[in-house]
Each structure stands twice: as C-alpha cells, then as structure tokens.
Amino acid sequence: MNIPRKKLPIGIQTFREIREEDYYYIDKTPLALRLIERGSYYLLSRPRGFGKSLFLDTLAELFEGNRALFTGLAAEEHWDWSRRFPVIRLSFAHGVLADRAELDAKIEELLAENAARLQVQLDQNTISGQFGDLIRQAHANSGERVVVLVDEYDKPIRDNLTNPETASVLHVGLLNLYSVIKEAGAHIHFALLAGVCKVSTSSIFSGLNNLMDLSLDADYSAICGYTDNDLDTVFAPELDGLDRAQMRAWYSGYNWTGESVYNPIDVLQLLQKRKFQPWWFETATPDSLIDVLTERQVFLPQLSYMLADRSRLLHLELERIAIETLLFQTGHLTIDSNRQIGVITYYSLHYPNREVYQSLNNRLLQHWTPDTQNTFRNKTRLGELLLANDFAGLEQLFTAFYASIPHDWYRNTPIAQYEGYYASIFYAYFASLGLDLTPEDTSNVGRLDLALRFNGNLYLMEFKVVELVPDGRALEQIKARGYADKYRAEGLPIHLMGIEFSKEQRALVGFEVETLES
C-alpha cells in the first residue's frame, strides 16, 4: 500500500495547524482518552523538545469540542462531542523571567488573556484571587467545570538554576499560583501541568496530594516522542534511503520505564536534511547544565553508569542540585533498567543514544579546554593515530591532552581526586568522537579505568597519579591483575596502555604500551 507523503511539522506545536494543513501527525489521542478516564489531576515531566506543548494543545482542542480536527483519529468515535469545556491555558514557554515582579506581571498577563477569551471579568487585586475568580466564573458561565492546562510550569525556576536565591523566590511566586488549583477543585474537571524539572512537588503544589505523576508511569512512557512503530508506519514514505539501525543508534533510547521513543526534533530534521547531526542537542541543552557540570568538576566516565532511586530522579532540590537528577530531567541520561530492593526501586541510568553521548562530551570538552582550535586539532589527530596504531604519536598527543587541563583544576583539585579529573579529559576526547568506551570496567580481579574498542582493536588503559602511588606502574598493574583475560574471547588484538602523570610537575611522566596478539 502506498502511503501519501505529507508535510513535516518542523517547529509546529499547534494541533489545529497540523491537522488543517495536512502535516504528519502521530495520534496521541488514545493516551489522552486513557488519561481523562483514569483521573483528573496530572503532572508530566519530560525534557524540552519532546512534544509536551503539542499534546497540551491537542487536549485543549479535544475539551473545546472541535470535532473536525479529530477526523480519522481514535478520539473521533470515543468522545462526547456534545460537551464543551472552558479551557484555561497558561504557558511560561516564552521569555526569561529574572525576578518576582516579572513573574507576577507575566501571570497577570496570562490570566487577562484567558479572561478575555472566556468572557470573564476579573475584579480581584491579587494573583491568587484573579485565578480563583477566573476558574469559578468560567464554570458558572459555561455550566461545565474548567480544564486547566499549564505548559512549562517550571521554566521560570529552570532558567535560574545557577542562581538558587532567585529560583527560590520564583518558586514561591509559582506556589502562589498553583495552590489555587487545590482550592478551586470543585470547579475543575481536569488539570495537567507539564514541564521539565519536578521541583519539590510537596511545596510547589501545596497539598495537591491527588496529583498523579506520569513521569515514571510505564503506561505513558511514549506519551511524548515517536516510537519505532510510528516511524515505520506514519513516516514510512520518508524512510527510503535511511538506515533504520543507524537512526535507532543516533536518536532513539529515551525511556521512562516503558516503551522507548525518539525525539521528534531529531526525526523531523533527519527526514528533511537527510543528515545525522545532533539536531535536538544543539537546541535543547541549557547552558546551566554545562555550567553545573563544570562547577562540580564532574567525573565524566561516571555519567554512563549512574544509579538513582525514584525520589532522586524526580525531585530537584534547588539548594543542592543532584547531577543525576538534572541530567535525567533534561534528557541527557535515561533509564536503562530498574530493580526493587525492599520497598525502594533503583534506576540505572545511561546515555540514551549516540547523539547525546557524543555531543555532551564534546560540549564539555570545548568548555573545559579554552583553546577551541587546538582541541579540535587534538580530536582529529586522535582518530588518525588510533587508525594507524601510532603509539609514539599517541604519547605526544596525550601530553597535549594533559596540557589542555585548565590551571584552576591543578590548583583547586585535591590530590585524591586528581586522577579522576585527568581521566575525564581523556574520556571527553574519546567520547566526543563517538568511540565505543567502557569506563571503570569491573572484573573479579579489579576495576580497569578505561576500555576502548575501535577499528578491530581493543585498548585497555590505566591511569596513575605518581604522587599517590610513587612505586606503582600503571602497565604493571594491568598485567599483574590480568585485566586482559576477560577480553581475550573477543579475538581482537589487545593493547595494554599504562599512563602516568604528576600533579606537581604538571606533566605526563609515564607512557607504556604492550600489545597482546589475538
């Protein structure tokens, strides 16, 4: 069966435009109907660019009873179109709010817009009074209880994560708004608040204990984003000439304990440009994330195997932002697996795909090594030397890597942590090329610092700070502990690489390589 080609909805978050202008559309109305049947108050956390705004817009059109837009969709035959609900829509998606006065002005502007559309006169002086009045009057005027949809409910806080004092002030301002939802519950039929970061829900929603959190609900893992089935059916006319396995490796893998999805930005840009590029990462990675990772001098190899419980994943504490929480909520780590021990569920996190793995490390490498051009040359040279197995050249290059570490790291990093920060620079160089790395690989004899598979070769690397182990040799440790044994079955040439450096001398002081033939 030939499926007709349609227009790609790049940058379009309006359900009406997609339906009326014949764009491709993934039918999310089965999930919308299930939500509405299941309960009344919901919270949804998803990273930027996954389609939250479009889903909210779809709900708005559904509750307003615009049946013509749903022709051919699941909702058409399973919705009572005789009922029309007043919909209050609040969005903080646009603009940056720097203080409480700006936030309050924005809220009053949004309330006034809704009041005009719903033909309600607001007579109260306070924000909470106006919001409550809007809900009650809209109910009275229409005879139907109100639907409240909030898009990017947390963005004012998220934009100020590097300034906790301002973020806390804005948190209080949003609490003043959202607390009305509980107080006006008798007049509300349905409410959904969508954002990126779940910021202390026990306070920001002030007692909304009936708020159902969809963020880790397996049934709604695919509520935003595209599934493999979506690509193979709806987007089938656009797939000719594209490698599906490569698409999956580059862009799929985002998971919230259920079905994995692709980011829509990546898929749509790929289908239009026919090139594999970090489309989502370039538009959805906040500077605040890079700033926090830099400020904490994060050990980069650790990011590929982090562990967290449910509370850690979902609750962003403004006073002390947990790295795994921020990376998960912004979409730079995703759930690989989960297991329950007693009453606690633990989640293993990893990079969702090649785009994030390669791009995040590349961005951090650029941020951490001030000479961007020199860093680029080092990366290019690294790939060439690995292809040739030129170990003398690698020794010179690794010396250059070491020289690229910012001086502040030498001064401010405790000697006990120094090995990890040095390894982070190495890891970032390799990862920014998208190479297959296994950091801190554990066996029954110990833990190897870094394993690299590339071009039919296996490189086992051990790093040492000579001030910590003056009598220890990195290469000898690899051999003595038999780190290569677990890899021999792969049948690849194995290169043992011992790399030693000195914080006092600020120099690479040891580089040894021994090759074991397969």
Q: Which CATH class is domain 370-516?
A: alpha beta
Three-class SS state of 114: helix
Q: Are strands 436-443 and 446-454 parallel, antiparallel or unpaired?
A: antiparallel
Contact (Cβ atoms closer than 8 angstroms) between residue 330 and residue 47: yes
Contact (Cβ atoms closer than 8 angstroms) between residue 171 and residue 154: no
Which residues pair with residue 513 across a beta bridge? 497
Residue 8 CA, chain-centre distance (Å), reads 24
Strands (E), 46-187: 87-91, 146-151
Whole-model pTM?
0.90
N residues, the chain: 518
Which of 222, 225, 217, 206 lies closest to 310 in space, CA to CA? 217
In whole angstroms, give the CA distance from residue 172 to residue 204: 7
Which of 445, 463, 447, 454 lies closest to 493 in space, CA to CA? 454
Name the CATH topology of 27-220: Rossmann fold (3.40.50)
Which of 279, 284, 282, 277 lies closest to 331 in space, CA to CA? 284
Residues forming CATH 3.40.50 domain(s) in the chain: 27-220
Q: pLDDT 10s digit of each residue in the chain, 518 long? A: 567 899 999 999 999 999 999 999 999 999 999 999 998 999 999 999 999 999 999 999 999 999 999 999 999 999 999 999 999 999 999 999 999 999 999 999 999 999 999 999 999 999 999 999 999 999 999 999 999 999 999 999 988 888 889 988 999 999 999 999 988 999 999 999 999 987 654 456 655 667 899 999 999 999 999 999 999 999 999 999 999 999 999 999 999 999 999 999 999 999 999 999 999 999 998 888 888 888 887 888 888 889 999 888 888 777 777 899 989 999 999 999 999 888 889 999 999 999 999 999 999 888 877 667 778 888 899 999 999 999 999 999 988 887 776 666 555 555 445 566 777 888 889 999 999 998 877 655 568 888 999 999 999 999 888 877 666 688 998 998 999 998 999 999 999 999 988 877 777 888 999 999 76
Contact (Cβ atoms closer than 8 angstroms) between residue 448 and residue 440: yes
pLDDT at position 317 is 79
Phi, psi of 211 (to 5 degrees): -80, 120
Q: Are strands 436-443 and 344-350 parallel, antiparallel or unpaired?
A: unpaired
Which H or E element spans position 56? helix 52-63
Three-class SS state of 497: strand
Vertex 342: Cα angle to 339 and 347 (nearest 5): 25
Which of 203, 182, 110 lies closest to 151 in space, CA to CA? 110
Residues forming CATH 3.40.1350 domain(s) in the chain: 370-516
